[in-house]
Amino acid sequence: MRQKEGFSRDLCDNEENKSFERLVLQDAALVKPILRERFLKDYILGIGDADEAFNMYCSAFAADRRMPVRMAVIKPNKMNTYDDLFYIKNTAGRCFGDERLTLNTSMQDCVLLISDEPDSRDMDGLLQHIAYIVHECYGLDIISVYSRVIPINEAPEVFRRLRSCTEYSFYSETTKVICERDISISTDPVTLTPQYTGIEEAVLGGNEKKTLILLEEFFSELERSMPTPAVAKTYCLELYVCMIRCCDVESIDIYMKGIVSIQEGRGFNEIKEFIKIKAAEIARSNAPKNINIYSSLIKDTIRIIDENIGNEKLSLRWIAGTVLYTNVDYLGKIFKKETGMNFSHYVMEKRMELAKALIMEGRNERIYEVAEKVGYGSNSQYFSQVFKKYTGISPLEYKEIARLSSKKLSGSDLKKTVV
């Protein structure tokens, strides 16, 4: 009886062993993709002994270390949940098909594909199709960057490059699929020389049109250089701080909150439009409501300028210290705020307009005499340089044009008289 029980137990054990073996064999097809993903992820991310993980992959799957593949990184422009990567990964698997994918996995904040698909046109088309499906089905906008054909053992370095290239989406909201060779985001120090001072002066002076022109130049230079998003945001923050310094004290706290909008901005155009809107607001608030309405201090300053336009010693410091007895920095700031120009530029324009009027009058004055009358003393050469920069032509050329115009007008009047 006991022998029968022992025999039955052995028979049962044998059946369980055979069942386990069958289970292992059946599950091998399911286990192999998991192992392949684990080995390749550890190798690409450098987890543990990465080289050993790659060797195990090559050995277990009889893979050639130099097997030619293409890699693609797919990243959501705006990821709301971790499920987003799951949706993208599944869509990519369906579009490519398991037979063409060596790896399809979520990696950090993106999905990584390794495919034996050699044709770039097919790769581009498949990634475009994935972008379309993900947008239509899940409401996600993605950017995909794929590599040239590479040996699979270069995967770690290529993954890092492709992932950095996805930052191109910061500058382009429309491009969905790009080849790595077509873009180059600078990781080197960017040597921009933004004209913060010029923009600040335009905002403080209430010159909205000039402000927007200078801002467009700033953003164009930044986009051409294409630094990383973090560096680009740093430049934008520096600019924004310069702008809000031009606000009234009561408004600064309100505009300071805009710093967060720049820090958290997801796209270059979004940040650009935000800064332009705020700059225009601040410039409009600084613009005089009526150009003829000035404070008594600025009215006095303008009167003194008009009375002393031919005085070579005319300066803001001279007016503040010897005539109005006020702080020169305060006077300069108020003058610019109300007139929209700094003092020296205002005086230069006044002098140039007076010089033009004197030359147009047609008197037989020499250029050095005009220079003396408009406050340049004996420095007629400097006067000529300023005049040419202001008008585009030299004083002598301007004088000749005035003479020819006067002669033509006289001939026309003579004709009318004869008729």
pTM for the full model? 0.50
Specify whether 56 is located in the same domain as 41: yes
Q: Could you give the residue ranges of the DSSP H alpha helices within 287-342? A: 296-307, 316-318, 328-339
Spatial separation of the C-alpha atoms in residues 129 and 324, rounded to whole Å: 73
CA torsion 42-43-46-51 (nearest 10°) is 120
Task: Please name the helix (run of DSSP H) or strand (run of DSSP E) that holds residue 8, with its range, or none.
Answer: helix 2-45
Instruction: Residue 166: give its domain's CATH number.
Output: 3.30.70.270
Element housing 73 (H / E): strand 68-76
- 212 and 268 share a domain? yes
Report if residue 415 sits inside a domain: no
**Same-domain pairing of 53 and 75:** no
The domain boundary residue, chosen from 156, 182, 208:
182
**Are residues 122 and 158 located together in one domain of the fold?**
yes
- Check whether residue 279 and residue 212 sit in a common domain: yes
Q: Are residues 110 and 160 in the same domain?
A: yes
At residue 147, φ and ψ (nearest 5 deg) are -95, 170
Q: Are residues 248 and 348 in the same domain?
A: no
Name residue, tokens 């550890």.
42
Q: Final residue of a domain: which of 267, 286, 305?
A: 286
Number of Cβ atoms within 10 Å of the Cβ of 249: 6
CA atoms within 13 A on the CB side of 1: 0
Burial of 71 from C-beta contacts in 10 A (0-12 / 13-18 / 19+): buried
The single-letter code of the amino acid at 178 is I
Question: pLDDT tens digits for the chain (419 residues)?
Answer: 444 454 444 545 555 555 545 544 455 566 778 888 899 999 999 988 999 989 989 988 888 999 999 999 999 877 667 788 999 999 999 999 888 899 999 988 899 999 986 676 788 889 999 999 998 998 888 889 999 999 999 999 999 989 888 877 787 766 678 888 777 655 556 567 777 888 888 888 888 888 999 999 999 888 888 888 888 899 999 999 988 888 877 788 888 888 999 988 878 888 999 999 999 999 888 876 544 567 888 989 999 999 999 999 999 999 999 899 889 998 998 898 888 888 999 999 999 989 988 887 766 678 899 999 999 988 989 999 999 888 888 998 888 877 775 554 444 443 343 33
My answer on whether 178 and 73 are in the same domain is yes
Residue with the two structure tokens 């530029």: 345
190 inside domain = no
- Number of structural domains (the chain) is 4
Q: Which domain holds residue 302?
A: 296-409
